[in-house]
Amino acid sequence: MTRARRVIPGGVNSPVRAYGSVGGVAPFIERGKGARVIDVDGNEYIDYVGSWGPLILGHANPGVLRAVRKAMARGTSFGAPTEIEVELAEAICRALPSVDRVRMVSSGTEATMSAIRLARGVTGRDRILKFDGCYHGHVDSLLVGAGSGVATLGIPGSPGVPEAMTELTVQAPYNDLDAVEDAFRRWPDELAAVLVEPVAGNMGCVLPEPGFLQGLRELCTRHGALLIFDEVMTGFRVAWGGAQRRYRVKPDLTCLGKVVGGGLPAAAYGGRRDLMKQVAPDGPVYQAGTLSGNPLAMAAGLETLHQLEKPGVYEGLAARTQRLAEGLEARARDEGVELCAVHVGGMFGFFFHPGPVRSFDDAKKAHAGRFRKFFATMLDEGVYLAPSPFEAGFVSTAHRPGDLTRTLEAASRALRRAARTRG
Q: Which residues are catalytic?
A: 135, 230, 258
DSSP string covering 253-322, please?
EEEE-GGGGTTSS-EEEEE-HHHHTTBTTTSSB----TTTT-HHHHHHHHHHHHHHTSTTHHHHHHHHHH
Let me know: does 325 contact 348? Beta carbons within 8 Å.
Answer: yes
| Cα 390 from Cα 168, distance rounded (Å) | 26
What 8-state DSSP symbol labels residue 15? G
Judge residue 188's burial from the number of C-beta atoms within 10 Å of its C-beta, 0-12 exposed, 13-18 middle, 19 or more buried.
Answer: exposed
SS3 53: coil
**Going by C-beta distance under 8 Å and a sequence separation of 6 or more, which residues neighbour residue 63?**
57, 303, 306, 307
Is the preceding peptide bond at 159 cis, omega within 30 degrees of 0?
Answer: no
Give Dmax over CA atoms of the chain in angstroms: 61
- Nearest alpha carbon to residue 242 among 107, 347, 395: 347
- H/E element, 213: helix 212-223
